[in-house]
Amino acid sequence: MLNKINISSREWILIVSIVLAALTLAVYWQVNQYDFVLLDDKAYVYGNIHIQSGITLDGFHWAFISTTSHLWNPMIWLSLMLDYQLFGLNAGGYHMTNLILHILNTLLLFWLFNRMTGVIWKSAFIAALFALHPLHVESVAWVSERKDVLSTFFWMLTLCLYVYYTERTTIKRYLLVLFSFVLALMSKPMVITLPIIMILLDYWPLKRFESIKGSLIIWQLREKIPFFVLSAVVSVISIYTMYEPTLKYYSLGSRFANAPVSFVTYLEKTFWPHEMAVFYPFSNQLTVWQVMGSVLLIALLSIAAIAMMKRMPYLFVGWLWYTITIFPVIGIIQNGDYAMADRYHYLPSIGIAVMLTWGIPFLIKSEDICKKILFPAGIAVLVVLSVLTWRQCGYWKNSIELFTHAAQVTKNNYKAYSLRGHAYAANGQYQQAIDNFSEVIRLKANYKTDYLMAYSGRGIAYVYLKQYQRAIEDFNEAISLKPDYINPYNYRGKAYSELGQYKSAIEDYSTAIRLKPDYTDAYNNRGVLYLSHGNKKLGCPDAQKACALGNCKLLEMAKGKGYCP
């Protein structure tokens, strides 16, 4: 085909790369107009003072010592600081950085398999499946998931450099591979499995096992030990940072039951991408047949892949790529109260793409039939995936759209209702916020934090609707769930103040300040209450403290009226 059109292989590689980049850009282009979402983006960007300081020595130091969100990922913080330097708090800029990284990942994936196999069109199809699969929207359209696209960029770069190293095994090339791997580990701990993937690629398609004389085990150990040591170090750091003794999610038995079911669900959504949500609630009510059926299917597929290891090595390598890369995030070591997440499909999906791309043509012996059937079928699949991805992107427009969709496609999704409640409250739609928080309370979320936040959020909405007694009742519930939770004290103080119960209001503001000595809003509210009752001796220090913490409106007003010096 290449010879008939009279275009060289190098020119085809360039053409394919341009087409892949253009298609990905077109399908995802809409994200540049999207906002941040409530889920994690505040902690990662618009509420993070370290990010909003830009690239500084202090920021650089913080990036390497921070375990915000229970992860050690300094490269993510540095990339977000650079984005802030360039875009400020314009969310579109952050989205475009994610998209550019996704395009680069696609191009590196294409280069990787084309370099290893010398087969342009199969390599292009793998890259296109990766670029256009709707399950990958979460990784690209969610600013906080810079972790996925950046770690995958360094993952792909590491493998490309590794192939470059295998072509001429010099220490300089080896150190480049090692350095890139370190950057990947500092982006997301999920990449700890990369050394195993290197060994798989040594088997196929690099076929290095065939050219090595002597002990294969000693050769692999000597070459891969530094990578495994680095993976082990990051694994220990990750387990340490994720450990939170005050949070008890689900039993080990429940997590072991959920793991195979989630594993198979990822497979199902690979072939039938439907009902995709930003949050999938964890179920404690999985049936025995679901768990055992999933375990049996995994066992059968694994046995089949091993049995065809010599005859069809790409099935073996693809299956292990999928299985091994998804294992660290399958939920046995828990880092949240979700059953699974679309973003965890990002890297593992490449293994399934390899199996399909090399496996299906093997079943069709006639090259002519392959050209007449597989090529148009492949184009049709990519068109369908592109439409689904474009549609899925639309749900990330804003928080309300995102969490409404999640609530529609899942059952009893307390997290979706909780976050949509906060989104409505942020828009001043307090009655809608109350309705959503009430749904969370009705569902009695297993995760205590959501239950707590529902009472607190509903109480705050009631304050803004001037339903103060209802607000106080909700704040009482929130405080009973977590006596050291600060917000309910501050807002209950406001409710008491509006009801004329000034002593109770002062007590609540004082408790909030005791729990958080730099709580600006509580100092401001207590100062207002003191000054409104003529207590300048106590009101002025509160106004001054609030000003020192960044809110000088009360102090300026008090000075203007001659209350404070």
CATH of the domain at 526: 1.25.40.10
pLDDT surpasses 60 at 425: yes
Mean pLDDT computed over 88-97: 97
- Would the CA dihedral through 367, 372, 377, 378 be positive or negative? positive
Based on the fold, state whether residues 504 and 390 are members of the same structural domain: no
By residue count, the chain amounts to 565
Q: Is residue 245 part of a domain?
A: yes
Q: Is residue 426 part of a domain?
A: no
pLDDT surpasses 60 at 193: yes
Based on the fold, state whether residues 386 and 504 are members of the same structural domain: no
Q: Average per-residue pLDDT in the chain?
A: 93
DSSP 3-state percent helix, strand, coil across the chain (nearest 5)? 75, 0, 25
Q: Is residue 493 part of a domain?
A: no
Mean pLDDT computed over 267-288: 94
Residue finishing a domain among 379, 394, 409:
394
Structure tokens at 370: 């392959």
Q: What pTM, to 2 d.p., does this model score?
A: 0.94
Cis bond before residue 134 (omega within 30° of 0): no
The contacts of residue 546 (CB under 8 Å, 6+ apart) are 520, 523, 524, 527, 552, 554, 555
Based on the fold, state whether residues 382 and 510 are members of the same structural domain: no
Q: Is residue 419 part of a domain?
A: no
Nearest 5°: the CA angle 225, 226, 227 is: 90
Task: Provide the pLDDT confidence category of residue 519 given band limits of 50, 70 and 90.
Answer: very high
The contacts of residue 146 (CB under 8 Å, 6+ apart) are 44, 76, 79, 80, 94, 97, 98, 101
| Phi then psi dihedrals of residue 451, to 5 deg | -60, -45
Based on the fold, state whether residues 390 and 506 are members of the same structural domain: no
pLDDT surpasses 90 at 88: yes
Residue finishing a domain among 342, 369, 394:
394
Based on the fold, state whether residues 231 and 108 are members of the same structural domain: yes
Task: Provide the pLDDT confidence category of residue 267 given band limits of 50, 70 and 90.
Answer: very high
pLDDT tens for 458-483 read 999 999 999 999 999 999 999 998 99
Q: Is residue 471 part of a domain?
A: no
Task: Provide the pLDDT confidence category of residue 244 given band limits of 50, 70 and 90.
Answer: low
pLDDT tens for 24-73 read 999 999 999 999 999 899 999 999 999 999 999 999 999 999 988 888 99
Residue finishing a domain among 365, 394, 423:
394
Contact 452, 478 (CB under 8 A): yes
Report how many domains make up the chain: 2
Q: What percent of the chain has pLDDT over 90?
A: 83
pLDDT tens for 9-29 read 899 999 999 999 999 999 999
Based on the fold, state whether residues 48 and 197 are members of the same structural domain: yes
Task: Provide the pLDDT confidence category of residue 560 given band limits of 50, 70 and 90.
Answer: confident
pLDDT tens for 294-326 read 999 999 999 999 999 999 999 999 999 999 999
Q: Is residue 435 part of a domain?
A: no
pLDDT tens for 531-546 read 999 999 999 999 999 9
Nearest 5°: the CA angle 70, 76, 81 is: 115
pLDDT of residue 8: 86
pLDDT of residue 250: 81
Count Cβ atoms below 10 Å from residue 206 Cβ, excluding itself.
Answer: 19
Q: Is residue 405 part of a domain?
A: no
Q: Is residue 328 part of a domain?
A: yes
Distance CA 231, CA 525 (A): 50
Range of the domain at 556: 500-565
pLDDT surpasses 50 at 3: no
Based on the fold, state whether residues 380 and 523 are members of the same structural domain: no
Q: What percent of the chain has pLDDT over 70?
A: 97
Contact 270, 352 (CB under 8 A): yes
Contact 192, 234 (CB under 8 A): yes
pLDDT of residue 1: 44
Report, in angstroms and rounded to the nearest whole number, the Rg of the chain calculated over CA atoms.
Answer: 27
pLDDT of residue 437: 96
Mean pLDDT computed over 484-511: 96
pLDDT of residue 157: 98
